[in-house]
A and B are shown apart, each in its own frame.
Chain A
Amino acid sequence: QVQLVQSGAEVKKPGASVKVSCRASGYPFTTYFLHWVRQSPGQGLEWMGVINPSDGSTIYAQRFLGRATMTRDTSTTTVYMELSSLRSEDTAVYYCARSSQQLVRSWGQGTLVTVSS
């Protein structure tokens, strides 16, 4: 079955970068887009962007342009989301999620990123 397994929790200082991974299994990796969605503590869901694992092309939400970078490694069926210039407001759970025709159906378990001095 479809599995998306994310890397573990991170604690970072303001100004640093974080790179979260999401390993996909149980389906042809290059067939489905993978998204990143974050959720700040006690808040709603915020879409960050999407990557096409087939060719590595990406679309980012405007507010993350220039600060978020999504990449993939087809040899390990893993996608990555790197967020730079971290600030306290970036403290959140970051989810990867697989879509079919843009409908997000399968989610990773989430990765808590804490930004604190």
Chain B
Amino acid sequence: DLQMTQSPSTLSASVGDRVTITCRASQSIGTWLAWFQQKPGKAPNVLIYKASSLESGVPFRFSGSGSGTEFTLTISSLQPDDFATYYCQQYDAYPLTFGGGTKVEIK
């Protein structure tokens, strides 16, 4: 199975900070990578698909990059609504696999 490794697992940041989360795949997945945001008690919401495409309705401060095995999610200027947990997920092949998550906390 494809393994997805996210880092860091926890991130403390302030409103206005630039935040970067990294995701590494155990083998090449092209650009078949999505990023999700999840808030407590809620289902995940897709932010980015195909590594760098912004989902409709998602603020432009979110961006994704990468291909092959290395990917990043960047929040250009952290807003209060962005404190949440973020997951990467590969959808190149079954079984679909998620990264372990990155919790973005208030510093």
Contact = CB atoms under 8 A, between A and B. Distances in A.
A47 interface: yes
Contacts of B91: 99, 101-104
Interface residues of A, number: 22
Interface residues of B, number: 23
B34 A103 contact: yes
Contacts, number: 51
A49 B95 CA distance: 7
Contact of A44 (B34, B43, B96, B100): B100
Nearest to A101: B91
A109 B87 contact: no
5 contacts: A45-B36, A45-B87, A45-B98, A62-B1, A102-B91
Interface of A: 35, 44-47, 49-50, 59, 61-62, 95, 97, 99, 101-105, 107-110
